[in-house]
């Protein structure tokens, strides 16, 4: 039995490597993709990797809004990932392929691409504190989500100073990483039909900084109409670490870290031109130097390079305090699936029990053709199956539990209502409970009410 399985795997691998090209034509040109295989359930899918959605943001385009990618001639090889955005925090060990030319996305389809198909689309934004992360196949393999019969799109966006440097004025307004995401969403709107996707059924999904990004898109007029639902896990536009109030000072400190003789009285225009004249390695290494010098306390003030409130302009992403936007109801009115882990901060404590920040990603994503699930006990494998079913149900039906099912223990997850905060507790079993974190949340509310100054920006 084992021998037969091994022989089958070898034959299938040979077929995948030597099979016919998978070609798709979009307005910018023709793409060559490849057939992929998920070993867990024997599911095949089609992969189109490193498709350009934006011009390389280099030279005079550094610290500017992204521009749509140019057309190409011939057939573009979209069968592998060889580029990621510069990493200030390279926690996934990809610095060997980091580059400023990184505005690419990947499309994974459950069936052979055809305009006759109309699959819902899950559009994923990676986390990493706006300082690291990547959308490449070895960091965000879609194998398990593909089992839910959805198209998966994973998009890159600029990080660190390249994505979030701001002088607080027109010299460098900031939020370029978020604007990259919006441009990628526009690409999906205009192109996903050629892969068999429905542009009117796009759900944006992210965790950590990706989760915060999802809620920023809900608040930004630049992204309205580009998606019909959102999934935000372990991050929000209201979290203090997802906002930077001292960006201008940080920009000057970055220049000083590159050249100790940089004039601190230089104008913001002179500052930005100096930073454009530096090499990408110089900019990134300078960011790493003073990022590491402060330590973890910086998370309380917001990551050094993070979203900012911009001065008003036609291209501004956010121009008013996020708390005011939420409080005033000026958000896109779309279904929203929000999740947290039981002990978010335990990722800083070695061998801590329970589910810490970002650990849920091991239940959802593969790393190339490898997954942690192979080493998980059966209860965790079942939890993974349930969690991914909830996600793909939401992408397809805007409801994580559209009908009772044995896999989900016949649970029907009710939406949150005013003064009736029901949530789904995902453990070895599933249960509907009321008021998450009900022992600590009221204390935080009281602290803000009694000892904080309004108007709030984060909360």
Catalytic residue IDs: 208
Q: What is the 3-state secondary structure (H, E, C) of 387-418?
A: HHHHHHHHHHHCCCCCCCCCCCCCCCCCCCEC
What span, in angstroms and rounded, lies between the C-alpha atoms of 302 and 309?
13
User: With the CA atoms of 125, 129, 131 and 137 taken in that order, what torsion angle do they form, in degrees rounded to the nearest 10?
Assistant: -30
Cβ–Cβ contacts within 10 Å for residue 327, how many?
A: 12
Burial class (CB in 10 A: 0-12, 13-18, 19+), 278: middle
What is the chain's Cα-based Rg? 22
Cα dihedral 180, 358, 239, 151 in deg (nearest 10): 40
Pairing mode, if any, of strands 43-52 and 29-38? antiparallel
Joined tokens for residue 242: 């997802």
Distance CA 65, CA 183 (A): 9
Rounded-to-integer distance, Cα 354 and Cα 351, Å: 10
Spell out the alpha helix ranges (H) of 268-377.
Answer: 268-277, 280-294, 298-301, 322-327
């Amino acid at each position: 039995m084992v021998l037969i399985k091994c022989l089958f795997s070898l034959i299938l691998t040979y077929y995948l490597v030597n099979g016919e090209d998978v070609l798709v034509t979009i307005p910018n040109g023709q793409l060559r993709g490849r057939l992929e295989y998920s070993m867990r359930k024997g599911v095949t899918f089609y992969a189109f990797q490193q498709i350009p959605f934006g011009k390389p943001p280099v030279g005079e385009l550094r610290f500017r809004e992204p521009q749509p990618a140019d057309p190409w001639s011939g057939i573009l090889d979209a069968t592998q990932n060889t580029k990621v955005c510069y990493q200030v925090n390279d926690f996934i060990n990809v610095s060997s392929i980091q580059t400023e030319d990184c505005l690419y996305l990947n499309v994974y389809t459950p069936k052979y691409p055809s305009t006759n198909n109309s699959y819902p689309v899950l559009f994923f934004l990676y986390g990493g504190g706006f300082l690291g992360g990547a959308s490449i196949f070895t960091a965000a393999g879609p194998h398990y989500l593909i089992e839910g019969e959805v198209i998966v799109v994973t998009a890159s966006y600029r990080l660190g100073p390249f994505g979030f440097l701001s002088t607080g004025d027109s010299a460098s307004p900031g939020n370029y990483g978020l604007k990259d995401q919006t441009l990628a969403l526009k690409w999906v709107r205009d192109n996903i039909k050629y892969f068999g996707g429905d542009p009117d059924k796009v759900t944006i999904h992210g965790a950590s900084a990706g989760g915060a990004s999802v809620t920023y898109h809900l608040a930004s007029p630049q992204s309205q109409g580009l998606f019909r639902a959102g999934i935000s896990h372990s991050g929000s536009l209201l979290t203090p670490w997802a906002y930077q109030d001292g960006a201008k000072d940080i920009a000057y400190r970055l220049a000083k870290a590159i050249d100790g003789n940089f004039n601190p009285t230089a104008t913001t225009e002179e500052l930005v031109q100096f930073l454009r004249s530096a090499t990408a390695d110089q900019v990134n290494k300078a960011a790493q130097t003073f990022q590491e010098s402060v330590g973890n306390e910086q998370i309380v003030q917001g990551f050094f390079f993070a979203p900012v409130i911009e001065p008003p302009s036609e291209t501004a992403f956010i121009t008013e305090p996020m708390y005011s936007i939420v409080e005033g109801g000026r958000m896109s009115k779309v279904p929203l699936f929000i999740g947290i882990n039981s002990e978010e901060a335990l990722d800083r404590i070695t061998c801590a029990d329970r589910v810490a920040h970002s650990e849920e990603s091991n239940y959802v994503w593969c790393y190339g053709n490898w997954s942690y699930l192979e080493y998980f006990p059966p209860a965790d494998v079942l939890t993974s199956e349930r969690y991914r079913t909830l996600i793909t149900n939401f992408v397809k039906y805007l409801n994580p539990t559209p009908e009772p099912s044995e896999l989900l223990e016949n649970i029907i997850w009710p939406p949150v209502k005013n003064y009736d905060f029901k949530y789904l507790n995902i453990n070895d079993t599933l249960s509907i409970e009321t008021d998450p974190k009900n022992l600590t949340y009221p204390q935080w509310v009281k602290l803000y009410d009694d000892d904080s100054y309004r108007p709030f920006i984060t909360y």
